[in-house]
């Protein structure tokens, strides 16, 4: 059974860097048919896709976020990460990691998701 578990700093001050990690068990990140992604949900708001990375390390970002985030793989630890150089209060959200799967017709969907890690940005 594939399990994903997010970890993060919890509380950050504005302008501090953000680093989140998703630990994957039950599969390897290098399985070529899968991609891996990050999605967030600010309090009281909807879901927002942030970034996706392929098993070979190709990165894809939500153009609305202007690539302020960086997604990366650590195959030695079977983890993938999300980083941002400097956070603002608008980055306060529950951050989820998820596997992006597809069928033979290349329809994609996120499954499964981790439980999420809350990041609060406050002075």
| Partners of 110 in the β-ladder | 100
Among 7, 21, 23, 62, binds another protein (CB under 8 A): 62
Q: Quick one: residue 91, left, alpha or beta (phi over 0 = left, psi -120 to 50 = alpha)?
A: alpha
- Among residues 67, 120, 19, the alpha carbon closest in space to that of 6 is found at 19
Q: For the chain, how far is it from start to end, CA to CA, in angstroms?
A: 40
Write each residue from 20 to 59 as x if it is in contact with another protein (CB under 8 A), else as -, in one continuous string: ---------------x-x-x-----xxxxxxxx-------
Cis check: omega of the bond before 34, within 30 degrees of 0 = no
How many chain residues touch another protein (CB under 8 A)? 29
Contacting another protein within 81-120 (CB under 8 A): 96, 100, 103, 105, 107-116
Closer of 33 and 76 to another protein (Cβ)? 33
Enumerate binding residues for another protein (CB under 8 A): 35, 37, 39, 45-52, 60, 62-64, 96, 100, 103, 105, 107-116
């Amino acid at each position: 059974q594939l399990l994903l578990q997010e970890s993060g700093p919890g509380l950050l001050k504005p302008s501090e860097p953000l680093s989140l990690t998703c630990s994957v068990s039950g599969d390897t990140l290098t399985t070529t048919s899968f991609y891996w992604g990050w999605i967030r949900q600010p309090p009281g708001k909807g879901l927002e896709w942030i970034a996706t990375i392929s098993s070979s390390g190709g990165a894809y970002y939500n153009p609305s976020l202007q690539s302020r985030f960086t997604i990366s793989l650590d195959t030695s630890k079977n983890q993938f990460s999300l980083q941002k150089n400097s956070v603002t209060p608008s980055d306060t959200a529950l951050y989820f990691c998820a596997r992006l799967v597809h069928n033979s017709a290349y329809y994609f969907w996120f499954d499964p998701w981790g439980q999420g890690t809350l990041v609060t940005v406050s002075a």
